[in-house]
Structure 1
Amino acid sequence: MNISQLSYSKHCILVYNNREYFINYRPIKNCIEILLSNPKILQHFIFKYENKKHQEEKSYAEQNSGNWWKYAEASISSSACILFFILYSNVITTDTLGKSSLYSIYISLAL
């Protein structure tokens, strides 16, 4: 993956004793675009609906074995794919009194 394409933005979050404190971040949209621009990575994240069964009963083993995936896949163009990724957040306290916080958001492509 070409990491140099991942651009950072810089934002001043605090000025204390005439000193500025910054946070560096990447916009989520930019991260998704970069990850999906790499065909070697992308091929591992394309899932088609699978009607899984265990002992003749419907089995929900993976995200792409659920009925919602089946209906979502049927509702889009045949040349499109559903991408499964996880967003999660974490709070970062930015001052010593705990009154100011930033929420970081992480993205992970699911396998």
Structure 2
Amino acid sequence: MNNMKSNLSYKKTKVLDHDNTEYFLYHMPLMSCIQNILEISDISQTFVLEYEELYKITKNGKENIYKEQNNRKWWKTTQSALPTGAKILSIILYSDATNCDLLSKSQLHPIYLSLGNIPTWRRNRQDAKQLGW
């Protein structure tokens, strides 16, 4: 987490009152997370906005290769349904439980954000993720 760029502009939103206890969600605005990722200098070099069809030649002819999100059929279908000039921004949200004590009795479940427009090898680096919630 120390390698993630963050402007620490987290917001606190009350989400629930239960048994005289208030529950809050601490979060960073979605657009701030995306902006922080896009400000990384080398991200723009590998950032994809277009569908790319990949094939390999086999004995039976051509076979599709599904290497990245922009090689998938859903990207092609979605892109063809968009208005002219519009592009896909694939937002990936995921959670990973974090132990908060030595006995593993207390856990937090932070939600991270990354972008599917970034190749997997680059997206797996720490700075291509944002702690959003």
On whether the aligned pair clears a TM of 0.5, the verdict is yes
Question: Residues 10 and 29 of structure 2 are in contact (CA less than 8 Å); yes or no, is this contact kept in structure 1?
Answer: no
In 2: Cα distance, 1:28 partner to 1:63 partner:
24
What is aligned with 1:7?
8
In 2: Cα distance, 1:65 partner to 1:108 partner:
18
Cα–Cα, structure 1 residues 99 and 50, in superposed 2: closer, same or farther, change >3 Å?
same
Greater alpha carbon shift after TM alignment, 97-106 vs 68-77: 97-106
Question: Residues 48 and 70 of structure 2 are in contact (CA less than 8 Å); yes or no, is this contact kept in structure 1?
Answer: no
Shift of 1:74: 0.8
Q: TM-score, normalised by structure 2?
A: 0.51
Question: Residues 86 and 107 of structure 1 are in contact (CA less than 8 Å); yes or no, is this contact kept in structure 2?
Answer: yes
What is aligned with 1:59?
65
Q: Which protein is richer in strand relative to its size?
A: 1
Q: Percent identity between the aligned chains?
A: 36
Q: Which has the larger radius of gyration?
A: 1
Counterpart amino acid of residue 75 in structure 1: A
Please list, as runs of the form range in 1=range in 2, the aligned pairs for 1:46-85 lying within 5 A after superposition.
46-55=48-57, 56-85=62-91
Q: State the Cα RMSD in Å.
A: 3.2
Q: Give the one of 88, 94, 114 matched to 1:88.
A: 94
What is aligned with 1:31?
33
Question: Residues 65 and 71 of structure 2 are in contact (CA less than 8 Å); yes or no, is this contact kept in structure 1?
Answer: yes
Name structure 2 gaps, 5 residues minimum: 13-25, 120-133
Name structure 1 gaps, 5 residues minimum: 12-24
What is aligned with 2:127?
none
Does residue 108 of the first structure (1) align with residue 114 of the second (2)? yes
